[in-house]
Amino acid sequence: MLGRDSKDTAIGAGDVVERCPLNHIQCIGTRKCIHFNKLCNGAIDCEDGFDEGVHCRELLSACHELHCRYGCVMTRNGTFCFCADGFEVSEDGTSCRDHDECAVYGACSQTCLNTYGSYRCSCTEGYILQNDRMSCTAKQDPGDSPPALLIGRLLQTATLC
């Protein structure tokens, strides 16, 4: 998973700016994002235990007062409402509305269609949607297969030596 890569720490530990996906929060000082439902769930999901603590009990009444339509998030910095995946909190701060994933740059590599509670990616003529359901690659002519040729050459040079 998201481990302690030496490349990551080189950027500057404790000062990593990473945007988490919807309904996720960043563990302080790391690149790890955890889902809101992992906050105060009784299991430590951030390495430093940022997601658990006494605030989980102390903020319960504050959460009740918010009257969230879907769910309430308890962090060390306070409480706020959140919605089911694919939905976002409306201006009133409690109710939920569809989240337009297509408004976020990079949701799809080509065409993005926002649907209620979800979205779909598609590709333009001559491209095929990949297994990640977001990127497109050009349709390839089944006639050319450069990898086989490359292997053939490598084998030739190997036998010469």
Dihedral of the alpha carbons of 8, 13, 18, 20, in degrees to the nearest 10: 100
Residue 38 contacts Ca ion per CB under 5 A: yes
Residue 51 contacts Ca ion per CB under 5 A: yes
Interface region with Ca ion, contact rule CB under 5 A, candidates 12-20, 48-56, 102-110, 151-159: 48-56
Residue 27 contacts Ca ion per CB under 5 A: no
**How far apart are CB 115 and Ca ion at their closest, in Å?**
30
70 touches 81 (CB < 8 A): yes
**How far apart are CB 13 and Ca ion at their closest, in Å?**
22
Residues 56-85 touching Ca ion, rule: CB under 5 A, are none
How far is Cα 21 from Cα 107, in angstroms, rounded to an integer? 11
Residue 101 contacts Ca ion per CB under 5 A: no
Helix (H, G, I), strand (E, B) or coil at 131: coil
* Count of residues making up the chain: 161
